[in-house]
A = this chain, B = another copy of it.
């Protein structure tokens, strides 16, 4: 797949949430420069974010988000990397790759720098196999196949909606685990990509994530986190649980494994504990909710699925805490905003383009 034209060059946007100068892009330049970036600036909108020369980008700060979405901007989180999902909404591309600004280029065991984006694209362009486990991992990789006993009727697989990448160095641990194992580093390079089976939930991390926006963009909502909210650091988890349930319903695949990025620094576990505190006990009720959530056959688009799921969130999780009623409302607002921004109406498109640099 090494070609002179970068894969999906005009069909993929890179979404980066940030509060600082994007010096980390220097290391990614050989891999990211051909692509368009959507930068979502969090925090103080008057701060100027410096983007290294030569990158093609558009940047949105809180003022832009408020201007473009009006009252519906309430569904976009502030002072939390959950704000990144605004970038998914205003993209006009088929695929999104999103990465955190503390993630750098990792090396494979041979010492070669890993083009994470290229691996994500390979993952997302090849089918997934959610209905039966293949013991040699992704059967579509070079040198692998379906093993003996894999039903032939399932070998075509299904379209892949999500490619979830991993992290060397600082693992994505919760605050309690960070506190217990402050020195643990992930040094194990596992050379595998696999489909997460149908009916199985997983913890989706937003640090190094690619998805097909056309197939499931509208459900990649990162929820209400950070400023004014009782919770943080569950934005990607929330999106992952919703996305997996809806992918299972729509017959789409979710892959995890390669590519690795180098996660440079552990966030403060004491700060994290405060953000996660309610999530840690709420999730004990959220997981059974998502494990048993089913959608009606009438839900055939991601939007329909998401609205249906929002109703169930309100009805069933509203009892856990009033936060979930608010979140359910925000899920609906998000879909309304998504459809507005992504209508074929050219004036809306013009608004969305207002921030283009």
Could you show 18 A-B contacts with beta carbons less than 8 Å apart? A109-B109, A133-B200, A133-B201, A136-B186, A137-B190, A144-B188, A146-B173, A147-B171, A147-B203, A148-B172, A148-B237, A149-B203, A151-B283, A188-B192, A192-B192, A197-B200, A198-B200, A199-B200
From the candidates B135, B144, B149, B164, name the one contacting A234 in the complex (CB within 8 A): B149
Minimal beta-carbon separation of A146 from chain B (angstroms): 7
Contact A284 B153, beta carbon cutoff 8 Å: yes
From the candidates B135, B146, B185, name the one contacting A177 in the complex (CB within 8 A): B146
Minimal beta-carbon separation of A187 from chain B (angstroms): 6
Q: CA of A61 to CA of B347 in the docked complex: distance in angstroms?
A: 82
Q: CA of A313 to CA of B186 in the docked complex: distance in angstroms?
A: 45
Q: Is chain A's interface secondary structure helix, strand, loop, or mixed overall?
A: loop
Identify the interface centre among A141, A147, A197, A236: most chain B CB within 10 Å of its CB. A147
List A residues at the B interface (Cβ < 8 Å).
109, 132-137, 141, 143-154, 164, 166, 171-174, 176-177, 181, 184-192, 196-205, 233-234, 236-237, 240, 256, 276, 280, 283-284, 287
Provide the residues of chain B in CB contact with A256, threshold 8 Å.
133, 135
Q: CA of A135 to CA of B207 in the docked complex: distance in angstroms?
A: 13
Q: CA of A137 to CA of B171 in the docked complex: distance in angstroms?
A: 12
Top 5 A-B pairs, shortest CB-CB distance: A149-B203, A133-B202, A197-B200, A149-B237, A148-B174
**Residue on B with the closest CB to A177?**
B145
* Stoichiometry (number of copies): 2
Contact A149 B132, beta carbon cutoff 8 Å: no
Beyond known contacts A135-B203, A188-B192: 13 more, CB 8 A cutoff: A133-B202, A136-B186, A144-B186, A145-B173, A146-B173, A149-B174, A149-B283, A152-B284, A190-B191, A190-B192, A191-B191, A192-B192, A197-B200
> Given contacts A148-B174, A149-B174, A287-B151, is CB(A143)–CB(B197) below 8 Å?
no
Q: CA of A137 to CA of B193 in the docked complex: distance in angstroms?
A: 12
Contact B148 A187, beta carbon cutoff 8 Å: no
Provide the residues of chain B in CB contact with A187, threshold 8 Å.
143
Contact A148 B191, beta carbon cutoff 8 Å: no
From the candidates B133, B147, B205, B287, name the one contacting A173 in the complex (CB within 8 A): B147
From the candidates B151, B172, B202, B203, name the one contacting A284 in the complex (CB within 8 A): B151
Provide the residues of chain B in CB contact with A184, threshold 8 Å.
143, 145
Contact B136 A166, beta carbon cutoff 8 Å: yes
Contact B143 A186, beta carbon cutoff 8 Å: yes
> Given contacts A186-B143, A192-B190, A197-B197, is CB(A148)–CB(B205) below 8 Å?
yes
Minimal beta-carbon separation of A153 from chain B (angstroms): 5
Contact B149 A240, beta carbon cutoff 8 Å: yes
Minimal beta-carbon separation of A76 from chain B (angstroms): 21
Minimal beta-carbon separation of A88 from chain B (angstroms): 20
